[in-house]
């Protein structure tokens, strides 16, 4: 990794499937894939065992790849309270592990992440997967969608952090430009 790159671990929290993706993003906002995967736990296992398995998987990725920051998809209200509870618990584990590792951590909403990578905050999963493949110059979209979502979260975080730095508005992709414009409108 070049000294001017930012390495971000993106986490799409979940108990059954927890997406993890790491990207290196340089000052020109060019991104390179470092790692992508999914931590899986059986739905019939006790909750404590499932959370421990998610923690173990995240710890392994942190230890193996040494990210500079962690970004987690922000939990939003769903109709299925059982699903949102598991997602919130996995999110808490991810944020705790980032704090224990001394890494800055942030959360990003699903629409914020979609807007960052596609230019459209209501993009569907296939659109996000296609853009991730294009941005990272991959032969095929990452599978399953949780893996692509983790990479999208990491990219969103890296680009947002870069956009707040002096001169960070230079060399934006059209999707990034659309997102930045939407952010400015939302702030006013």
The pLDDT tens digits of the residues spanning 105-118 come to: 999 999 999 999 99
In a domain, 1, yes or no: no
Q: Is the pLDDT of residue 166 over 60?
A: no
Domain count of the chain? Answer: 1
Catalytic amino acids? 12, 73, 146
The answer to whether the annotation marks 12 as part of a ligand binding site is yes
Q: For residue 170, what are the domain limits?
A: 6-187
Per-residue confidence band for 10, with pLDDT thresholds at 50, 70 and 90: very high
Secondary structure class of 37 (helix, strand, coil): strand
In a domain, 29, yes or no: yes
CATH label of the domain that carries residue 142:
3.30.420.10
Per-residue confidence band for 95, with pLDDT thresholds at 50, 70 and 90: very high
Instruction: Please state, rounded to an integer, the average pLDDT across all residues of the chain.
Output: 88
**pLDDT number for residue 19:** 98
The answer to whether the annotation marks 149 as part of a ligand binding site is no
Secondary structure class of 159 (helix, strand, coil): helix
Q: Is the pLDDT of residue 149 over 90?
A: yes
CA distance 153 to 138: 17
The answer to whether the annotation marks 181 as part of a ligand binding site is no
CA-closest candidate to residue 32, choices 159, 158, 136, 175: 136
Could you give the percent of the chain with pLDDT greater than 70?
Answer: 82
């Amino acid at each position: 990794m070049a000294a001017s790159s930012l390495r971000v671990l993106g986490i799409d929290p979940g108990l059954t499937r927890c997406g993890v993706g790491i990207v290196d993003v340089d000052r020109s906002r060019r991104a390179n894939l470092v790692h992508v995967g999914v931590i899986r736990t059986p739905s019939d296992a006790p909750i404590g065992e499932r959370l421990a398995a998610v923690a173990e998987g995240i710890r392994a990725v942190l230890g193996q790849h040494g990210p500079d920051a962690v970004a987690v998809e922000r939990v939003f209200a769903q109709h299925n309270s059982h699903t949102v509870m598991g997602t919130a618990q996995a999110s808490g584990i991810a944020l705790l592990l980032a704090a224990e590792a001394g890494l800055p951590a942030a959360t990003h909403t699903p629409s914020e992440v979609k807007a960052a990578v596609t230019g459209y905050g209501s993009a569907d999963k296939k659109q996000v997967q296609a853009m991730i493949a294009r941005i990272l110059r991959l032969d095929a979209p990452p599978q399953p969608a949780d893996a692509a979502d983790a990479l999208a979260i990491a990219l969103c975080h890296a680009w947002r952090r870069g956009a707040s730095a002096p001169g960070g508005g230079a060399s934006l992709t059209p999707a990034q430009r659309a997102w930045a414009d939407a952010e400015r409108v939302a702030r006013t």
